[in-house]
Chains A and B, each alone.
Chain A
């Protein structure tokens, strides 16, 4: 076992891990931050996306010891300081960007990473960026719409067509 320390959502966190402990397991099982979901465990689905030192990574495909000393942000760290939803989270709610909600943590984290490097993406750029995030409910349209809205761009209101 190795003792590791990292900063998670602005707070110091530490724990004892095995070499094989994944970052996703450390976050969920050790720190009890179960907002990070593990969908496929084969690095396809993106439900486990978190930010490590500001970059989106699949936490099921990174060893916890490799994240030692890093700044990690999970979906639990996305809300505003007063507990209200962040712009991205609020947009997902407003535009019905989720149904079952399983992929949502990864979608929110990927959206945040995208908007940080590309504050006004086109719809095509949003869809391209979400290549590694799979959703089996929404058909992606409202997720894309939510991210476009979160970027401050006009989107048509959700219509029940």
Chain B
């Protein structure tokens, strides 16, 4: 690693001030950023650690019935404490491995927006709201492509607010070596309709499968998506699977998620 200074602010305000400095970068749980720094793929001069900010940690129910998760909340905490949203807690409980879940955070995962990460599917599939130090961003606006988000320079994810669906489930087909999602599908059924978010598949990162959403909104059963298929065009193709294979898996995992949620 190139050397850098580390700031450990105790409040969001102090963190925002620190990140405003030149060449500064926010550090969540570090489970992606630290390996990236080791490979010298990033060279910030200052890292601003967000893991000591108490006001950014924890899970609670908002007055509006939404589940609120602080941006610096670890996957392990979400798995343990998001009991009001079991599908989300279950998803968090299968990210990485136990030691990674004790450090990795929801805000870090969303800020990075890895095309194979689980949280982007959970957030987009739930229609959650990403709250930063300056504004609220709807999930449909937030994800803008592989490793790309609506976050501005120096903006920090302080909280994520999830509306709680009537039924939901996340199905992940793990890539056997990395255990990242080869394809992951988050299905959430609300009174107003069904949302289906897919991670791991598209070169554009997480996306909503609108045909499946329409079909499932009128008939929430695996049969509703029988005739649907996705093209392998624009899907990630690598030694673990072709684009066509991933496209097929999206259908399979969607059915499994519907089956488990229904």
Contact = CB atoms under 8 A, between A and B. Distances in A.
A63 B49 contact: yes
A22 B100 CA distance: 15
Say which size band chain A's interface belongs to: 20 to 34
B97 interface: yes
Interface in B177-206: 179
A66 B53 CA distance: 12
Interface stretch (A7-15, A41-49, A84-92, A143-151): A41-49
Interface in B97-112: 97-100, 102-103
Nearest to A43: B35
A16 B69 CA distance: 35
A61 B34 contact: yes
B15 to A, nearest CB: 14
Interface residues of B, number: 27
A19 B103 contact: no
Interface string B24-40: 00010011001101100
B6 A19 contact: yes
Contact of A66 (B1, B49, B76): B49
A58 interface: yes
B218 interface: no
The main secondary structure of chain A at its interface with chain B is: mixed
Interface in A52-67: 55-58, 61-63, 65-66
Contacts of B99: 46, 49, 56-58, 110, 113, 132
Contact of B103 (A20, A22, A61): A61
Given A55-B102, A56-B102, A41 B38 contact: yes
Interface of A: 2, 18-20, 22, 41-43, 46, 49, 55-58, 61-63, 65-66, 68, 110, 113-114, 129, 131-133
Interface of B: 1-6, 8, 27, 30-31, 34-35, 37-38, 47, 49, 51-52, 76, 96-100, 102-103, 179
